[in-house]
Amino acid sequence: MNRFEYVRAGTVSEAVAALAADPSARFIAGGTNLVDLMKYNVERPSRLVDISRLPLDAIEERDGGLRIGALVPNATLAYDERVRARYPLLGDALLAGASAQLRNAASTGGNLNQRTRCYYFYDEGTPCNKRQPGSGCPAIGGVNRIHAIFGTSAHCIATHPSDMCVALAALDATVRVEGPKGERSIAFSDYHRLPGDDPQRDTTLEPGEIVLSVDLPERGFAERYTYLKLRDRLSYAFALVSVAAALDLDGDTIREARLALGGVAHKPWRNREAEALLKGKPATRDSFQAAADLIVREAQPQSQNGFKIELARRAIVRGLEQAAAGTPQSSSDKRIQ
C-alpha cells in the first residue's frame, strides 16, 4: 500500500472540500473495496478522506418511499424491517452478495461505487484501459469467461459486480449526490455508464461529488419479485448472470414488469423494450420467453463467455416465473425451483 494523507471529515462540505483540493484523493467509508485495491496498487490515493463519521447512516421515510443514507451498511439495509416488508427484492439482492463480514462493513454508497472484478483490472502487471487509459484490453481475446455480453466496447468488456445495484435498477431508485456545484439527483439507470471510449469512468459522478443517499420510490413490488443469482459456487461468488425480476399482475395479466440483469454488462442491464413487450400479456412461460429472446438478441459473446447468453435467456424466464408465482429464490436454500 502506498503512503497517503489522512483526513477525517466532520461534515459533508468538509469532505467535498478535502476531495476537491486533491485530484488523486479518495473517499473511504467501509473500505472493503478500496483497501483491497490499494493492496494491489490499483488505487494509489495521495489522500484518503474518511467519511465514515458523517451523519449519512439513517434509513428514513420520504414521499412514501425510503431514503437510504450512503453510509448505511449493506447488512443493516438488508435486514431493515421496512426493506424486508416493502422492498424484499433489495434485501434479497444484498444478501446474495459478498459475505456476512463484508456486508457488515460495506456501505450503500461504496457498493454503488465499487470497481469491476476483471482479472486484468486487478493485475497491475497487465494493460487495462480502465486502470491505465489507452494501454489496451487483454480481456478481449483473453481470459473472459466472467465478462460482459451487453454494451461492451472495443476498449473494455468489464462487468459491474454489484448485486444491490441490480435490484436498485429494477426498482427505479435515485442517487442523491453533493459536490462543489451543489446537490443533484441522478436516475439510477443514468448513474452507472457503459465503457465506450473512456472505460476509466464507471459512473456519471463529477469530480468531487459524494453520494448522500439512495432514494427508493414508493413501489417495491413486494408481492411478486425474485433475485436469482447464478454463479460458480453457491455462496460468496460474483454473479455469472443474475436477474432481478418484479411483476405487477392483474389476475394473470401483466400490468407492469421490471427486469434488470447483473454480471452481464458494465452496469445493471435493463431493456425497457422487453418490459414494454410484457405489459398486457399473460404471465406465462411463452410471454417470458419472448421477452428473454428480445433481450439476448443484443448479446455479443467474447471468446469464452458465449455460455452466458443461453444462461441469461433461461435465467430471465426462470426469474419471471418465480416472480409471477410469488416464490422468490431463497438465499439459503440454493435449489432453483
Partner 1 sequence: MLIESGSPVAADQRIDISLTINGETRALQVAPWTTLLDLLRERLDLTGTKKGCDHGQCGACTVLVNGTRVNSCLVLAVMKDGAEITTVEGLASLQGPGSNALHPLQEAFIEHDAFQCGYCTPGQLCSSVGLLNEGHAKSREEIREAMSGNICRCGAYTNIVDAIEDVMQAGGSR
For binding to partner 1 (CB under 8 A), which residues are involved?
1-11, 14, 17-18, 28, 31-32, 35-36, 38-39, 47-48, 50, 52, 75, 79, 98-102, 104-105, 235-236, 331-333
- Closest approach, Cβ 113 to partner 1, in A, equals 16
Distance of CA 291 to the CA centre of its chain: 22
- Closest approach, Cβ 16 to partner 1, in A, equals 11
Q: In the complex with partner 1, which residue's Cβ is closer, 104 or 126?
A: 104
CA end-to-end distance (rounded Å), the chain: 45
Please give the Cα distance from 86 to 223 (Å, whole number): 9
Q: In the complex with partner 1, which residue's Cβ is closer, 126 or 289?
A: 126
Alpha-helical (H) ranges within the chain are: 12-20, 34-39, 74-79, 81-86, 88-96, 100-105, 108-112, 119-122, 164-170, 188-191, 272-278, 285-296, 307-325
Is the CB of residue 331 less than 8 Å from the CB of residue 303? no
- Closest approach, Cβ 236 to partner 1, in A, equals 4
Instruction: Tell me which DSSP letter residue 239 carries.
Output: -
Q: In the complex with partner 1, which residue's Cβ is closer, 58 or 234?
A: 234
Q: In the complex with partner 1, which residue's Cβ is closer, 2 or 182?
A: 2
Over its C-alpha atoms, the chain yields an Rg (Å, rounded) of 19
Residues in the chain, total: 337
Tell how many helices (H) and how many strands (E) occur in the chain: 13, 12
- Closest approach, Cβ 69 to partner 1, in A, equals 17
Q: In the complex with partner 1, which residue's Cβ is closer, 47 or 193?
A: 47
Please give the Cα distance from 134 to 227 (Å, whole number): 36
- Closest approach, Cβ 190 to partner 1, in A, equals 30
Q: In the complex with partner 1, which residue's Cβ is closer, 14 or 256?
A: 14
- Closest approach, Cβ 33 to partner 1, in A, equals 9
- Closest approach, Cβ 210 to partner 1, in A, equals 14
Q: In the complex with partner 1, which residue's Cβ is closer, 28 or 264?
A: 28
Q: In the complex with partner 1, which residue's Cβ is closer, 9 or 296?
A: 9
- Closest approach, Cβ 25 to partner 1, in A, equals 9
- Written as nine digits, the cell of 306 is 458465449
70: helix, strand or coil: coil
- Closest approach, Cβ 49 to partner 1, in A, equals 9
- Written as nine digits, the cell of 296 is 439476448
Cβ partners under 8 Å of residue 78, min gap 6:
90, 91, 94, 95, 103
Is the CB of residue 88 less than 8 Å from the CB of residue 225? yes
Q: In the complex with partner 1, which residue's Cβ is closer, 75 or 246?
A: 75
Q: Express the helix, strand and coil content of the chain in percent, nearest 5 each.
A: 30, 20, 50
